[in-house]
Amino acid sequence: AQSVSQHNHHVILSEAASLELGCNYSYGGTVNLFWYVQYPGQHLQLLLKYFSGDPLVKGIKGFEAEFIKSKFSFNLRKPSVQWSDTAEYFCAVNDGGATNKLIFGTGTLLAVQP
């Protein structure tokens, strides 16, 4: 069965610091990878996704993620965070099968201090 691990449960950064959130998945076949963000009190929104092609994926709001197949990883990065990036970040994976079943990691709460 697929699973997703996010090792950082809670990250605190100052504004302008660089961000990297870890995500590892377990599945041996072809995967589609996603990062979703949930701002306080809001619904989940897609930040970026990887299906195929260039393993470095750029998303909204200056976020990017790199798919490293050999490490089963899809880490999220941002060179300089802002206070408005304070949110919960979820990595997710599906196997591209018939059901589009998305498996989520446990989330990382990012708090950016002004």
Partner 1 sequence: DTAVSQTPKYLVTQMGNDKSIKCEQNLGHDTMYWYKQDSKKFLKIMFSYNNKELIINETVPNRFSPKSPDKAHLNLHINSLELGDSAVYFCASSQATGGAGELFFGEGSRLTVL
Binding site for partner 1 (CB under 8 A): 32, 34, 38, 42-46, 49, 51, 88, 90, 94-104, 106-107, 109
Residues with Cβ < 8 Å from 3, sequence gap 6 or more? Answer: 25, 26, 103
For residues 70 and 98, which CB has a smaller minimum distance to partner 1 in the complex? 98
For residues 55 and 96, which CB has a smaller minimum distance to partner 1 in the complex? 96
For residues 7 and 15, which CB has a smaller minimum distance to partner 1 in the complex? 7
Q: How far is the CB of 103 from partner 1 (least distance, A)?
A: 8
Q: How far is the CB of 89 from partner 1 (least distance, A)?
A: 10
3-state secondary structure 80-99: CCCHHHCEEEEEEEECCCCC
Could you give the angle at the alpha carbon of 104 between the alpha carbons of 101 and 110, nearest 5°? 150
